Amino acid sequence: LSSYWYSSTPQEEETQESQEERAEQVRRRRLAQFDQGSVPQNASPEVGQPETFADSTDNNADVALTTTDNNDADAITTTNNPNTVAVEQKAQVIGSAIVKPMRPDTTQWQDNPWSDASTPHTQRAVDPAVAVSHVISRIFNVTLSTAAQPPSQPRFQTMLLDTAVSSELLSLDILDQVLFERLSMSAPELAECQVECGEARCPSFEPLIITYLLNCVRKCDEEMRRSKLHQETVLGCRDAAVRMMGIVLLSNDSWEPQDPAQQLVECLISTEHTFSEFNSTNNIKVLEELLAQDSISEDDLRTMMNPVVRCLIRKTTMCNLNTSPLNFSILTTLNILVANKIIAKMVPELEGWKPDNPDDGAAYQNTLIGRFLSCSTMRHGLPAGARYTSPYFNRGSAVNPDITRHSQSQYQQMIDRLQTLLSKFIYLLVKSPAKEEMLHWLARCLDANRNKAKLVASFLSTGSASDGFMLNLAGVLLKLSTPFLGPSNPRLSTVDVRFCGPESCALFPQPGEDKILDKIEEVQVSKEDLLSLGKPDQFNFISTCFYLTHRSLQLAYVSPFDKYRRLMKSLMETQRLVEDVGGNPMSAEIRERFEAQYIEQLEVKTHLLHPDIVSHALLFYSSSANWLSLISISHDSPTVPDMKKKPTLPALPSKCLAMVPSYFISAMCQFLINVRHFAEASLENFLSDNLDHLITFLVMFCNKTWVPNPHTRAEIVEAVTVFIPNDRSAVSTSNREAALRSNGIAKGGLGGALISVFVDIEHSAPFDHKFQYRYHIFEILQYIWPKSSFNLPRLTFEVKGREEDTTVLFTKFIKLLMNDANFLLDEALHNLEEIKKIQTLQENSEEWGNLDETARQSKLKSLADLKRMCTSHNILAYETVNCLRYMTTRGQGMSSACHRSVTYAFVTPLLVDTLVTMLNYYLKELVGASRTKYRVRNLEEVKFKPGELLQSIVAIYINLRHEDSFISAIPRDGRSYHESLFSETVSKLQRLNVNHDVIEELMQVSKLAEDKLTSQHDEEALADLAPSQYLDPILGTLMVDPVMLPASNVVVDRSVIAKHLLSDPIDPFNRQPLTMADVVPQEELKEEIAGWMREQLQLLRSGEASSSS
C-alpha cells in the first residue's frame, strides 16, 4: 500500500508465503477437529461500549482508562469468560507456542520472568523481547497467546490467530502485519477473538479503524509519560499507528463498509464524548504529524485527504451559533489541513467552494466559507408578519436583564472566536497557491452584495446575503487587517493608492464608481494623469486587505444600523402603547408585539454592537483617516512615505485622491454617527491619539477644495458632532471634547469649513435635507463659538479659501441664516394656527359630530401631519434664532475689536433691514394680540417654546443696540414696528420673571429707536426735494454711498447693488457679470449729496422751529 507498507525481499516474501500456506493447512485441519468450539458472539463486552469504573484514582482522563496500577485490580470482576475459554481451547489446538490455557492467580507473577518492567513486584531480570511484546500488546490491545500475562496487561485483548501461527512474541518487525490483521477484522470477528489476559481496566474492543488507531497513539503518549523504559519501542508503536492511519486513508474505499475518512473527521470534530480516545485536541496533533511526514508524495496526500476535506465540507451544513463547538472544531481541523499547501491548493477545487450563481449575493451563504459567515444571532429571510421563535432569546423581557446581558456576552464570544478561526483559514489560503482563488472569492462576494450599501437593502431579503453574513465578513477582514492597523503603523505606508485606479486591479471591476476628486475644478485630473503614476506588477496583500475591508465595512453596516434604528423607534412606540392600554382587551396583542420586537432588537444588538468589533472598526477607520490625510498631501506619490508625519492643509490636494473611492469618507462618517447613537461608550473610550487623527481627517476633508460634493461635506459635518456634547449623550464626552479642543487643524479650519458648507448646500442639497444639514452646523458652532482658541470672529475679516474674501462668504452665511429663520418661524406659526383651528373644531362637539366619519378621519390625519411638520420647524427655527443670538453675543475672552467685526457683518446696509424686519415681525407675533392664534393644546408636543424664543429675539436686540445702523433700521420698518411694541414686550418679560437688567437694556433700545424715528421723518421729506441725480435708479431712494457700475456706467447706491449681487451676480442694466470688487466709488458725488442733506435738514428744522414758535 503505497510507500507506507512494509517492504520485503522476494526471498522473504516467498518464505513468508510458504509458511502462511502451511500454517493455514494445519489451521483448517485442527479446526475441523474442534467442532464444539463455536463461540457465542454476545458473551464479550458490548461492541464499541467502554466499561465504566467508579473507583478510578487517576485524575487524568486521558490515562484513567488504561492504568496499570495493581491496586485497581480488585475492582474488576474476574469471572471466567466463555469467549476466553473457547478461544484458549482453539489456541491450544492451533499453535504449540501458546503454553498456558488458563489465567493464573495474581501472586504467581511476583517471580515470573514475563512480568513487565513497570510492575512494582518485579524481582527478576526481564527478557527484553518479552518486555517489548508486553508493551506492544498493552498499546494495541492484541495478543498472540492466551498464556498467562502480567496484571498490567489489559483484561481483554484481541487474539490474532493468523500472526500467532508464525510468531510467538509481538515485535516492531511484525507490527505492520499485526496492525493489518487487527484492522482487517470485522466486528463479529473481533467479538469472537476476545480473550481475558491481564487485570488492567480497559474499554472493550474498538471496531472503528481510525478510532482504534487514534486510541493506540494516545496510549503510546501515556506510556511515554508513565515510564522512561522501552521508549524506543513505544515510539516505534506510535510511528506505526500514524503510518497505518495514512495507509488506511490512502485506500479509503477499500475498507468498506467502514469509511475511515468520516471516522477521522468524527474524531477530530467530536464535542460530545469525554473519553480520551475522542479527545479532539490530541487527535488534531496526530493529524499534524500525519501531514508532516516527509515520505508522503503530493499525489498520495491529495488522495488521502480529499475524502477528509469533503466530509468536513458536508459537516458545515449544520453550522449555526448554537453549534459553535462543532463550528470551532471543523474550522480548527480545516486550518490544520490548509496549512499544508498541497491541501490548500485542493480546497478551491472541491464542491461547495463556489456559489451556484456568482452574481447572486445570497448564493455565497451556501458555500464553505459562507456557512460559517452566516452564523449570527440576527434572523434573515423571514416573510413579513411570520411568527418566529428565537433560538437565542426566546423568553424575551421575562428574563432578568443581567442574565440577558450574560447571554449576549456569551454569543459575542462565540462570534469573536468564529471570526478568529475563519480569518486564520482565509489567511492560510492567501499564503498558499490558492491565493488568487481566495481573493477572487472575497471580491466577487462583495461585488455580488453591492446593493447592501443602499438603505433599500434593509427592506429586502432576497438577492443579497444576510446582515449577519456581512457583519461577520467585515469582522474577519478586520482581523486580517490587524497587523497593519494603528495610525502610525509603518506597514500602513505600503498601502498603494493605485489599487482602485484606472485599469489597476481586476478585483474591483467597478466602472463609474465615484471618486473623491471626481468633480473638482481646481484639480483637473485626467485618466492619463493617473496612469502616469505607473502600475505595480502585483499589489501587496496589505493594499488588497485594506481596500477589501473598506468595502466590507461599507456594505456591512448600512442595512443593520437602519434596521436597528427603525426597530428601536417601533419598540418605544409599542412600549408607550403597552403603558397606555392597561387592562384593555387589546393589551395582550400589543404585549405580544412588544415581546417580538424586544427579542428582535436583542438579536440585532448582540451582533451589530459587538464591542470588540466596533472598537476594531474604529481603529481601522482611525488608521485609514491618517492614511487619507497623508496621501492627500503626498505630492502625487502612490504611497505614504512616513506615517508619523503631521498633516497640514496645503492649497490643493494631491491628484491621488482621484483614485480613492468616495465611499471611504461617507462610510466612515456614517459609522461614527451610528456608533455615537448606539454605542457611545466605545467611542468615548477610544484612545485620544486615535481620536485626534479622526478629527484631523474630518476637518481637512470638509474643505471645499478637497471634497467638492456638498452632500459628502455635510456628512462630514455631522460626523464632527460626535466630538461635542449634547442632551442625547448617554455617557461623558470629556475625552472627545479634549481631543477636539487640542487639535490644531480644527482650531484653524473648522469654523471656516462649517460656514462654507452652510452656504454651499443652499442650492445643491434637497430642500428638506438642507435644514437637517444646517442643524448639525448649528450644534458645532454653538459649542466652538465662545471658545477663543478657535478664533472664529477672525472669519469676518481674514482672507482664506479661494478667490473670495471671507467677508463676502460670511455675509452670505448671515443672509442665509436670516432667510432660514424667516421661513422656519413663518411655517411653524402657520402650522400652529392650523392646529388651533382643528383643535377648536374638536372642542365643539356639535360641529365635530356633524362631520361624517371620512371627514373626521381626514381632519385627524391632517392634524397628525401638521404636528409632525410643526415639531420639525419649531426645533429648527429655535436653533437658527439661537445661532443669531450667540453669534452677536460678546463671548468670554473675546476682544471688543473681534466682537465689533462680527456684529458689523449683521448690520451692514445690505443686511440690516432684513434682520430688523424679521425681528420686529416675530416680536409682534409673540407679544401682540395675534399670539392667541398659536395657543394650541400641549405646546411641548410640538416643541413650541414661545418664552425661550422671545428671550432669544430680545437678546439679539440688546447685543446690537450699540450699532447705529441697527437702531436706525428698527423704526424704519413700517410693517411691524409701532411705539408700543417694546412696552408690550417688557410686560411679557416681566411675567416670565426675566432678569431686570435685561428689561432695562431693552428699554434703552426702545428709547433709541423712538429718537431715530423723529430724524427719519426729516430724511424722508428730503427725498421728495432731492435732484434726480441724487436718487438711486433702482429703488428711487436718496443715495448715501454712490458707486458706478463699470459695464453700464450707471450710478447706484452701494447698499442697493450689494443686496442685488448677493442673489444675482450680474449688472441689472446690461446683464453683464459683476462683483462688488468691480464697482467704482463716486467720492465727489457722495460729498455733494452729504452737503446737500446737511443744508436741507438745517432749513427744514429751522422752518419747523419758526412754525412752532
Does the pLDDT at position 122 exceed 80?
A: no
Please, are residues 956 and 888 in contact by the beta-carbon 8 Å criterion? yes
Please, are residues 165 and 95 in contact by the beta-carbon 8 Å criterion? yes
Who's near 1069: CB < 8 A, 6+ residues apart? 1045, 1047, 1048, 1050
Please, are residues 412 and 420 in contact by the beta-carbon 8 Å criterion? no
Task: Give the rounded percent of residues in the chain with a pLDDT score beyond 90.
Answer: 38
Residue carrying C-alpha cell 406659526: 829
pLDDT of residue 1020: 67
Does the pLDDT at position 1033 exceed 60?
A: yes
CA–CA distance, 1013 with 682 (Å, rounded to integer): 60
pLDDT of residue 812: 85
Who's near 290: CB < 8 A, 6+ residues apart? 242, 245, 246
pLDDT of residue 807: 53
CA atoms within 13 A on the CB side of 599: 18
Please, are residues 168 and 185 in contact by the beta-carbon 8 Å criterion? no
What is the separation, in whole angstroms, between the first and last Cα of the chain?
138
CA–CA distance, 491 with 542 (Å, rounded to integer): 8
Q: How many CB atoms lie within 10 A of CB 810?
A: 21
pLDDT of residue 444: 92
Average confidence (pLDDT) over 875-883: 92
pLDDT of residue 114: 38
Does the pLDDT at position 509 exceed 70?
A: no
Range ranked top by mean pLDDT from 541-555, 579-593, 679-693, 905-919: 541-555
Who's near 593: CB < 8 A, 6+ residues apart? 574
pLDDT of residue 418: 94
pLDDT of residue 37: 40
Name the DSSP class of 1053: E
Q: What is the pLDDT of residues 16-62, one digit of tens each?
A: 455 455 445 544 544 444 333 433 333 333 333 333 333 333 333 33
pLDDT of residue 529: 57
Is residue 9 classed exposed, middle or buried when 0-12, 13-18 and 19+ CB atoms within 10 A define those classes?
A: exposed
Q: CA dihedral defined by 14, 18, 19, 24, rounded to 10 degrees?
A: 140
CA–CA distance, 83 with 95 (Å, rounded to integer): 18
Does the pLDDT at position 564 exceed 60?
A: yes
pLDDT of residue 95: 37
CA–CA distance, 81 with 194 (Å, rounded to integer): 9
Q: Which residues face 259 on adjacent strands?
A: none
pLDDT of residue 791: 59
Range ranked top by mean pLDDT from 776-790, 874-888, 1018-1032: 874-888
How far is CA 206 from each of CA 142, 143, 185, 214, 390, rounded to the nearest angstrom? 12, 15, 11, 11, 41
pLDDT of residue 288: 87
Of 146-160, 683-697, 730-744, 1063-1077, which gets the smallest average pLDDT? Answer: 146-160
pLDDT of residue 53: 31
Q: What's the pLDDT band for 733 if we cut at 50, 70, 90?
A: confident
Does the pLDDT at position 338 exceed 90?
A: yes
| Burial 543-559, CB ≥16 within 10 A → b, else e | bbbbbbbbbbbbbbbbb
Does the pLDDT at position 272 exceed 60?
A: no
Dihedral sign, Cα of residue 759, residue 765, residue 770, residue 776: negative
pLDDT of residue 4: 33
Q: What's the pLDDT band for 458 if we cut at 50, 70, 90?
A: low
Does the pLDDT at position 793 exceed 50?
A: no
Please, are residues 639 and 630 in contact by the beta-carbon 8 Å criterion? no
Cell, residue 977: 414696528
Q: What's the pLDDT band for 278 if we cut at 50, 70, 90?
A: very low
Please, are residues 826 and 873 in contact by the beta-carbon 8 Å criterion? no
Does the pLDDT at position 803 exceed 50?
A: no
Q: What is the pLDDT of residues 217-269, one digit of tens each?
A: 988 998 888 888 888 999 999 999 999 999 999 998 888 889 999 999 988 88
pLDDT of residue 802: 32
Pairing, β 156-159 against β 142-143: parallel
Question: What values do phi and psi take at 376, rounded to 5?
Answer: -160, 160
Cell, residue 794: 477672525
pLDDT of residue 305: 92
pLDDT of residue 1018: 65
pTM, two decimals, is: 0.79
CA atoms within 13 A on the CB side of 641: 8
Average confidence (pLDDT) over 874-894: 87
Q: What's the pLDDT band for 789 if we cut at 50, 70, 90?
A: low
Who's near 1076: CB < 8 A, 6+ residues apart? 808, 1057, 1058, 1061
For residue 577, give the 3-state DSSP assignment.
helix
Average confidence (pLDDT) over 524-533: 58
CA–CA distance, 197 with 157 (Å, rounded to integer): 7
Does the pLDDT at position 186 exceed 50?
A: yes
CA–CA distance, 375 with 371 (Å, rounded to integer): 7
Pairing, β 1080-1081 against β 142-143: unpaired
For residue 200, give the 3-state DSSP assignment.
strand
Closest alpha carbon to 209 in 179, 183, 178 = 183
Q: Which residues face 1042 on adjacent strands?
A: 1053
Name the DSSP class of 455: G
Does the pLDDT at position 881 exceed 60?
A: yes
Does the pLDDT at position 1078 exceed 80?
A: yes
pLDDT of residue 199: 67
pLDDT of residue 503: 61
Name the DSSP class of 499: G
Q: Phi-psi bin for 851: left (phi > 0), alpha (psi -120 to 50), beta? A: beta
Angle at 411 between CA 684 and CA 566, to 5 degrees: 60
Is residue 833 classed exposed, middle or buried when 0-12, 13-18 and 19+ CB atoms within 10 A define those classes?
A: middle
CA–CA distance, 64 with 948 (Å, rounded to integer): 80
pLDDT of residue 87: 41
pLDDT of residue 24: 53
Residue carrying C-alpha cell 492627500: 632
Cell, residue 25: 493447512
Taken as a whole, the chain contains a residue count of: 1109
Is residue 170 classed exposed, middle or buried when 0-12, 13-18 and 19+ CB atoms within 10 A define those classes?
A: buried
Does the pLDDT at position 202 exceed 70?
A: no
How far is CA 378 from each of CA 366, 396, 418, rounded to the nearest angstrom? 17, 15, 15
Is residue 462 classed exposed, middle or buried when 0-12, 13-18 and 19+ CB atoms within 10 A define those classes?
A: exposed
CA–CA distance, 862 with 913 (Å, rounded to integer): 36
Write the single-letter amino acid at 996: H
pLDDT of residue 125: 57
Q: What is the pLDDT of residues 598-645, one digit of tens each?
A: 999 999 999 999 999 999 999 999 999 999 999 888 777 888 878 888
pLDDT of residue 460: 55
Average confidence (pLDDT) over 823-846: 92
Closest alpha carbon to 441 in 374, 305, 347 = 347
Task: Give the rounded percent of residues in the chain with a pLDDT score beyond 70.
Answer: 78
CA–CA distance, 949 with 98 (Å, rounded to integer): 110
Range ranked top by mean pLDDT from 44-48, 655-659, 769-773, 908-912: 769-773
pLDDT of residue 1012: 81
CA–CA distance, 418 with 423 (Å, rounded to integer): 9
Q: What is the pLDDT of residues 972-990, one digit of tens each?
A: 888 888 889 999 999 999 9
Does the pLDDT at position 482 exceed 90?
A: yes
DSSP state letters, 166-182: H-SS--GGGHHHHHHHH
Closest alpha carbon to 781 in 720, 697, 712 = 720
pLDDT of residue 35: 39
